[in-house]
Amino acid sequence: MPEGRIIRAVSGFFYVRTDEGDVQCRARGVFKKKKQSPMVGDWVGFEPTVPGEGIVTEIRPRETELLRPPIANVEQAVVVCSFKEPDFRQELLDRFLVHIEHEGLDALISLTKRDLVDDESVIDRIRTAYVRAGYRVIVTSVHTGEGVEELQRELSGKLSVFAGQSGVGKSSLLNAILPSLRLTTGEVSRKLKRGRHTTRHVEILELGKGGQVADTPGFNQLNFPMMEPTDLSACFPEMRSRAPECRFRGCLHQNEPDCRVRTAVEHGEIDAARYRNYLQFLQEISDQRRY
């Protein structure tokens, strides 16, 4: 049976890349009965129908899976956040990072639109909070070129996914890395202060030097339907490393005595805003379980 990797999914069609070229496929109906659906990044088997077309008949086991953005088998997630236009949203960044950690992916943070920030302390504060949490952070500007080569090196030799809020500059960043892509970009809505969606579907792009990246549509909401309260702190690296020192196994780091995480927050070892977001997410997960 021929096989390949889905590189794009549009309107019910799955474009499978093989050694002989790309094949446009539909998915076999049995996947609906199993409540499965092929995803970009999946390795699949397919049955050819006519030249250049086929039907996906088998989805190979996935190494990793993200539901938002929907993609399988990536090795690294690049969370793209802008300093301005739209304004930096730490709470949304932390939501992305929780989902990435929950799936066991490596995370890289790209802070874009450096050229719009005059106050260096703003940049230092954000970067320091996440470097201390254990993340790689690259500050970028497509207008000055700052950070673009560094990011390109981080993408080499692996399949990465770009994820982030609408309008933060994902497509502009990819165009700067590889100008031949010529991805469509858009402006931020002045009224809503949010980006307009310019990427309409998930697609794997070839970057050269063995690197591939999935460009994804932007979005502004992300929740935690598949997570237990006890899962959450493990998705914050700075809490995960300190949790074994808490008095109680399964400590939720709220009001428990001798909580090493809360002590670290009080001493400035853990970013206070990150901790507040953790408590907010914990409440959301508890509320979801009640309903």
- φ/ψ of 204, rounded to 5, equals -85, 125
Residue carrying the six token digits 């892509």: 181
- Binding site residue list: 112-115, 164-172, 246, 251, 253, 259
- Kindly report the average pLDDT of the chain as a whole number: 88
pLDDT in tens, 46-65: 999 999 999 999 999 999 98
The whole-model pTM stands at 0.85
Q: Identify the CATH number of the domain in which residue 134 sits.
A: 3.40.50.300
Query: At residue 32, does pLDDT exceed 90?
Result: no
**Whole-angstrom distance, CA of residue 94 vs CA of residue 37:** 28
Mark whether 119 and 157 lie in a shared domain. Answer: yes
Mark whether 211 and 71 lie in a shared domain. Answer: yes
How many domains does one find in the chain? 3
What the block records as the tokens of 119 is 């106050």
Mean pLDDT of 225-243: 92
Residue carrying the six token digits 């990797």: 5
pLDDT in tens, 238-250: 999 999 999 999 9
Q: Cis before residue 38, ω within 30 degrees of 0? A: no
Query: At residue 194, does pLDDT exceed 80?
Result: no
- Binding site residue list for Zn(2+): 246, 251, 253, 259
Residue that is last in its domain, among 184, 215, 246 = 215
Mean pLDDT of 101-119: 94
Mark whether 265 and 186 lie in a shared domain. Answer: no
Evaluate whether residue 48 is within a structural domain. yes
**Whole-angstrom distance, CA of residue 137 vs CA of residue 128:** 9
- Expressed as residue numbers, the domain containing 259 is 229-290
Q: What is the pLDDT of residue 185?
A: 52
- Binding site residue list for GTP: 112-115, 164-172
Mean pLDDT of 174-199: 58
Q: What is the pLDDT of residue 214?
A: 86
Mark whether 161 and 250 lie in a shared domain. Answer: no
Best CA proximity match to 67, nearest among 225, 213, 200: 225
Q: Identify the CATH number of the domain in which residue 28 sits.
A: 2.40.50.140
Evaluate whether residue 223 is within a structural domain. no
Mark whether 73 and 179 lie in a shared domain. Answer: yes
Name the range with the highest mean pLDDT among 28-37, 43-52, 62-71. 43-52
Residue 59 is inside which H or E element, if any?
Answer: strand 53-59
* Contact call for residues 62 and 38 (beta carbons, < 8 A): no
Mark whether 56 and 76 lie in a shared domain. Answer: no
Mark whether 97 and 129 lie in a shared domain. Answer: yes
Mark whether 193 and 106 lie in a shared domain. Answer: yes
Mark whether 94 and 210 lie in a shared domain. Answer: yes
Evaluate whether residue 40 is within a structural domain. yes
Q: What is the DSSP string of 164-233?
A: ESTTSSHHHHHHHH-GGG-----PBPTTT-SBPP---S-EEEEEETTEEEEE----S----TT--HHHHG
The residue count of the chain comes to: 291
- Beta strands 65-67 and 53-59, pairing class: unpaired
Q: Measured on CA atoms in the order 238, 243, 245, 251, is the torsion positive or negative?
A: positive
Evaluate whether residue 224 is within a structural domain. no
Mark whether 14 and 144 lie in a shared domain. Answer: no
Mark whether 28 and 74 lie in a shared domain. Answer: no
Mean pLDDT of 180-200: 49
Query: Please, what is the Cα angle at 245 between 240 and 250, to 5 degrees?
Result: 65
Mark whether 80 and 147 lie in a shared domain. Answer: yes
Q: What is the DSSP string of 118-179?
A: --HHHHHHHHHHHHHHT-EEEE--TTT-TTHHHHHHHHTTSEEEEEESTTSSHHHHHHHH-G
Q: Cis before residue 69, ω within 30 degrees of 0? A: yes
> CA–CA distance from 67 to each of 45, 95, 235 (Å)?
22, 13, 16
What does the buried/exposed string (b/e) look like for 125-150 if buried means 16 or more CB atoms within 10 Å of the residue's CB? ebbebbeebebebbbbbbeeeebbee
